[in-house]
Amino acid sequence: MRGLIPSCLALLGAMGCLGLRSLSAGWTAKPLPSNRTLSATTWIIAGNNLGTGFLADAARRLVITNAHVVAGQEVVRVIFPEYKGGTLVHDRAYYLRSDRAIRGTVLVRDPGRDLAVLQLQGPPHRSALALARQTARAGEPITVLGNPGASKPLWQSTPGVIRQVAFLRVRDVQGGPALQGRLLGITCEKPAEPGFSGSPVFNANGQVVAIATRSNARVKEFLRMEPVLTAILVAAQAGSLSPLPFCCGKQRQPPNWAWCVEVSEIDDVLTVVRTRPRTGRRLLDPHTAADYQERGVFHVERKRLDMALVDFSQALQLDPKNAPAYRDRAQVLRLLGVWPRALADANQAVRLNPADAGAYYQRALVLAGTRKLDQALGDLDRALELDQQDANIYRERAALEVVKGRLASALADVSRAITMDPKDATAYRLRGAVQGRRGDYAAAIADYKQALALNEDEVLAYNDLAWLWATCPFARFRDGERAVEYANKACERTAFRNPAVLDTLAAAQAERGRFDLAIQRQHQALELAPPNLQNAFLTRLQLYRAGKPYRQMDDLLASFGWIFP
């Protein structure tokens, strides 16, 4: 992707692809992974290119490898390992003589992430490899399994360790496409030689955490440039994964270093193939502003804010008057907490297309996030004048109306949102908040339960229901045991790092008479709390030290939709 965001050109590296050059002698075989792991790892022959791949979806017969391995080929040969007498056959001549290859059609290529997906023309008769569900961490041991060289035995492994996890951009000084995305930097006991391109990288549980792509087997130094957008992309998240930093500066990499494309990128590409077969090629190898815009929306849906920001910016570079791209980039910047730039983009979206309700909606969310509530409500009103069929606008206006104390209007708006979209868990949670503020605790409990029935991972519904059960002024609605149960669920889903949720757990423990645990959790909440919550948290801590539970519903909305810093 040329010309992306100039400030996003994070890394310049001098390196070689792993799959296309001759090898040095002296390879030493290492202990191999399990038979199940081996059986799903493939040798790929794509014209004159040799590399590695692995079976990622047995039902759909999908194999994943590097884009530079398949290069311009549309059909490649895919070879799975075989056993004789219970022993793995490593001899490549055996597989070539016996013509064990299955034809594989190249479905899609993603040059930016150096990934390609093949579909086998016959059944693989084996299970796919399991993808890790979380990003690996620096310091974790790994194993790389691949097919080095033109003359060495096949299916060799080398142990290694993860040294770096980052979102970055690497330029291939040999003229290949730039590599961009979430990458792992690893060092191995032996160099990741050519032929290892497309090799699965396994964690200690035998799950794939990355796919090998480029190494410094031939070039010993990577030159890197510091990006201007570091502060933005450090905050970028991929689903439940932790934020990844940009790498900056200039340094010499250790020997036997390799870059590997992280598992979330693999999962993204596979998701495109599975869910968007007709547009997959265009999304994964975009050329026009519309292509980048569409892929950016896909990344937002996947909560890949880092990639979405890059795609919308590329769309705007190709088409500076692309109002939807400004609108959608404003959304991403807002989610990343970059308020001034988010507002600038939202303003530009409104200026370019004043008839777009979505532009006003996104600007309202930015304004609300910066406490400009009256302006935000004005934009939501304008959005509803343009589009009265968007449940989200009614729901967000209801949230702001609660903050302004307009409970009757809030109830009407959120109820209308639920009528329009009865599967919106967030709307039910918000209506539970409104009902609680109005004193209709039974209705509030019912709405919270419905929110959780629709989405069992709705963290704030667990938190808010636990808060009601712990602090309601009417004893018949309190339930200390269930309050602790639900508060713990909220804490588990926030890794016990959210101060408001820890505050709820403390209140729940106090309600059931465990003031020792309440004090412990309240101290944790205080350590994490921003300045504007310190006084309230200290007040509750003093109550628990005095052996008294907390009773108040006025701040029930503290964790609902609008949380201000």
According to the model, what pLDDT value does residue 174 have?
A: 62
Question: How many other β-carbons are positioned within 10 Å of the β-carbon of residue 126?
Answer: 15
Task: Choose the weakest-confidence range: 29-33, 36-40, 541-545.
Answer: 29-33
Q: What is the dihedral of CA 42, 43, 47, 50, to 10 degrees?
A: 130
SS3 436: helix
Structure tokens at 418: 């639920």
Q: Which domains does the chain have, with CATH numbers?
A: 6-267 (2.40.10.120), 479-565 (1.25.40.10)
| Structural element, H or E, at residue 429 | helix 425-437
According to the model, what pLDDT value does residue 173 have?
A: 59
Angle, CA 47 vertex, CA 45 and CA 49 arms, to 5°: 60
Q: Tell whether pTM > 0.75.
A: yes
For 350, residues 6+ apart whose C-beta sits below 8 A from its C-beta are: 356, 359, 360, 363
Provide mean pLDDT across the span 354-380: 97
How far is residue 355's CA from residue 357's CA, in Å, rounded to a whole number? 6
Of 450, 511, 462, whose CA–CA distance to 487 is shortest? Answer: 462
For 39, residues 6+ apart whose C-beta sits below 8 A from its C-beta are: 80, 81, 126, 127
Provide mean pLDDT across the span 463-472: 96
How far is residue 438's CA from residue 318's CA, in Å, rounded to a whole number? 51
Kindly report, residue by residue over 172-203, the tens digit of the pLDDT. 656 667 788 888 989 998 877 788 899 999 99
According to the model, what pLDDT value does residue 223 have?
A: 34
According to the model, what pLDDT value does residue 334 have?
A: 94
pLDDT range class, residue 37, cuts 50, 70, 90: confident
Structure tokens at 24: 């040095």
Output 186 or 225, whichever has higher pLDDT: 186
Of 137, 116, 159, 162, whose CA–CA distance to 260 is shortest? Answer: 162
According to the model, what pLDDT value does residue 172 have?
A: 64
Kindly report, residue by residue over 250-302, the tens digit of the pLDDT. 445 577 888 899 999 999 999 999 999 889 999 999 999 999 999 999 999 99
Query: Could you give the C-alpha distances from 23 to 150, 197, 247, 274, in angstroms and in order?
Result: 8, 13, 30, 37
According to the model, what pLDDT value does residue 393 have?
A: 97
How far is residue 418's CA from residue 396's CA, in Å, rounded to a whole number? 12
Structure tokens at 417: 């949102």
Kindly report, residue by residue over 102-128, the tens digit of the pLDDT. 999 999 999 999 999 999 999 999 999
Task: Choose the weakest-confidence range: 91-95, 326-330, 398-402.
Answer: 91-95
SS3 20: coil
Identify whether the C-beta of residue 530 lies closer than 8 Å to the C-beta of residue 499: yes
According to the model, what pLDDT value does residue 193 have?
A: 77
Kindly report, residue by residue over 79-95, the tens digit of the pLDDT. 999 999 889 999 988 99
How far is residue 215's CA from residue 4's CA, in Å, rounded to a whole number? 24
Identify whether the C-beta of residue 469 lies closer than 8 Å to the C-beta of residue 511: yes
| Residues paired with 171 in a beta bridge | 12
Mean pLDDT of all residues belonging to the chain = 85
pLDDT at position 15 over 60: no
Kindly report, residue by residue over 60-73, the tens digit of the pLDDT. 999 999 999 999 99
Identify whether the C-beta of residue 5 lies closer than 8 Å to the C-beta of residue 171: no
According to the model, what pLDDT value does residue 92 have?
A: 87
How far is residue 298's CA from residue 107's CA, in Å, rounded to a whole number? 19
